[in-house]
Structure 1
Amino acid sequence: MSAARRLRAGLKGWGGVGAMGVACALTAVFTLLPLREAPLVQGSAATGGQGPTRVTYANADDCEDADAWKQSLKPSSDESGRTIAAIKEKGYLTVGVDQNSYRWGYRDPNSESDSADLEGFDIDLAHRIADEIVGGDVKDNIRFKAVPTNQRIPAIQSGQVDMVVRTMTISCTRLKDVAFSAPYFTTGQQVLAPRSSPIDGYDSLARNKICTATGSTALETLREDQEKGDLPASADISTTVPNQLDCLVRLQLGEVTAVVTDGALAASQAAQDPTVELKGSPFTTEYYGVAMRKDAEDLVRRVNQVLEDYRDSGWQQSYDKWLAPTLGDDAAKSRPPTPDYR
Structure 2
Amino acid sequence: MKKVIRTIGLLISSFAVLLLLASCGTPLSKQNVVTRAEETNTLTWGVKADTKLFGLMDVKDGQIKGFEVDLAKALTKQILGPKGKAQFVQVTSSTRMPLLQNGNIDAIIATMTITPERAKQVDFSRSYFDAGQSLLVKNGSPIHNIKDLNHSGRTVLGVVGSNSVQNVAKAAPKARVLQLSDYAQAMTALKSGQGDALTTDNGILYGMAVENPGYSVVGGTFTKEPYGIATRKGQGDFQKKIAKALTEVEKSGQYNKLLAKWFSNVPGFNYKEMER
Relative to structure 1, the CA distance from residue 209 to residue 161 in structure 2 (aligned partners, 3 Å threshold; closer, same or farther) is: same
Q: Provide the rounded CA distance (Å) in 1 between the counterparts of 2:46 and 2:230.
A: 9
Aligned 1:213-224 pairs, distance under 5 A: 213-223=159-169
Q: What secondary structure, in the 3-state scheme, does the structure 1 residue paired with 2:221 have?
A: coil
Q: Does 1:266 align with 2:205?
A: yes
**Partner amino acid, structure 2, of 1:231:** A
**In the alignment, which residue of structure 1 is the partner of 2:6?**
none
Partners of 1:329 and 1:218 lie apart in 2 by 20
Q: Deviation at 1:176? A: 0.9
Structure 1 residue runs of 4+, over 6 Å off?
none
Note the C-alpha offset of 1:44. 9.4
Aligned with 2:273: secondary structure?
Answer: coil
Could you tell me which amino acid in structure 2 is paired with residue 149 of structure 1? Answer: S
Cα distance change, pair 333–159 in 1 and its aligned pair in 2 (3 A):
same
The answer on whether the counterparts of 2:29 and 2:101 sit within 8 Å (CA) in structure 1 is: no
Deviation at 1:90, TM superposition (A): 2.7
CA distance in 1: counterparts of 2:213 and 2:267, whole angstroms: 15
The structure with more radius of gyration: 2
Confirm or deny that 1:174 pairs with 2:144: no
Residue 322 (1) aligns with residue 267 (2): no
Higher strand share: 2
1:135 alignment partner AA: G
> In structure 1, what is the equivalent of residue 273 of structure 2?
333
Using the alignment, how far apart are the partners of 1:134 and 1:100 within structure 2? 28
Q: Is the 8 A contact 1:44 1:158 kept in 2?
A: no
Structure 1 CA distance for aligned equivalents of residues 92 and 129 of structure 2:
20
- TM-score, normalization by structure 1: 0.68
Tell me the alpha carbon deviations over residues 267-326 of structure 1, each in whole angstroms, 9 at most, x when there is no partner.
Answer: 000001011101111001121111111111011110010111122221110111111212
Structure 1 residues 43 and 208: CA distance shift in structure 2, 3 A: farther
Matched, 1:151 2:151: no
In the comparison of the two structures, how many residue pairs are matched?
250
Closer/same/farther in 2, CA of residues 180 and 326 from structure 1, 3 Å limit:
same
In the alignment, the residues of structure 1 paired with residue 94 and residue 224 of structure 2 have an alpha-carbon distance, to the nearest angstrom, of: 21
Q: Is the 8 A contact 1:264 1:327 kept in 2?
A: no
**Displacement after TM superposition at 1:84 (Å):** 0.5
**Inter-partner Cα distance in structure 1 for 2:238 and 2:216:** 39
Match of residue 42 from structure 2: 92
Query: What is the aligned partner in structure 2 of residue 231 from structure 1?
Result: 172
**DSSP 3-state at the match of 2:266:** helix
Q: Which amino acid aligns with 2:264?
A: A
How far off its partner does 1:103 sit?
1.6
**Which structure 2 residues correspond to residues 168-207 of structure 1 after superposition, within 5 A?**
168-205=112-149, 206=151, 207=153
The residue aligned with 1:23 is: none
**Residue 235 of structure 2 is aligned to residue 296 of structure 1:** yes
Q: Kindly indicate whether the alpha-carbon contact (under 8 Å) linking 1:43 and 1:159 is maintained by their aligned counterparts in 2.
A: no
> Following the alignment from structure 2 to structure 1, what is the Cα–Cα distance between the partners of residues 271 and 230?
23
Change (3 A) 1:218 1:335: farther
Match of 1:70? none
Q: Please state if 1:254 is matched with 2:193.
A: yes
Do the aligned partners of 2:147 and 2:172 also contact (CA within 8 Å) in 1?
yes
Instruction: Determine if contact 2:47/2:91 at 8 Å carries over to the other structure.
Output: yes
TM-score by length of 2: 0.84
How many Å separate the matches in 1 of 2:275 and 2:29?
Answer: 31
User: Residue type matched to 1:46 in 2?
Assistant: L
Give the alignment of 1:20-35 within 5 angstroms. Answer: none
Deviations 1:68-125 (A, max 9, x none): xxxxxxxxxxxxxx4301212233111110111112111334x6xxx34222100111
Equivalent residue number for residue 46 of structure 1:
28
Percent sequence identity is 26
Q: In structure 1, what residue type is equivalent to 2:261? A: K
Structure 2 unpaired stretches of 5+: 1-23
Which residue of structure 1 lines up, in the alignment, with residue 9 of structure 2? none
RCO higher in structure (CA 8 A, sep ≥6): 1
Q: 1:252/1:332 Cα in 2 relative to 1: closer, same or farther (>3 Å)?
A: same
For residue 20 of structure 1, what is the aligned residue in structure 2?
A: none
SS of the counterpart of 1:168? coil
Could you say if the C-alpha distance between residues 43 and 330 of structure 1 is closer, same or farther in structure 2, counting changes exceeding 3 Å? farther
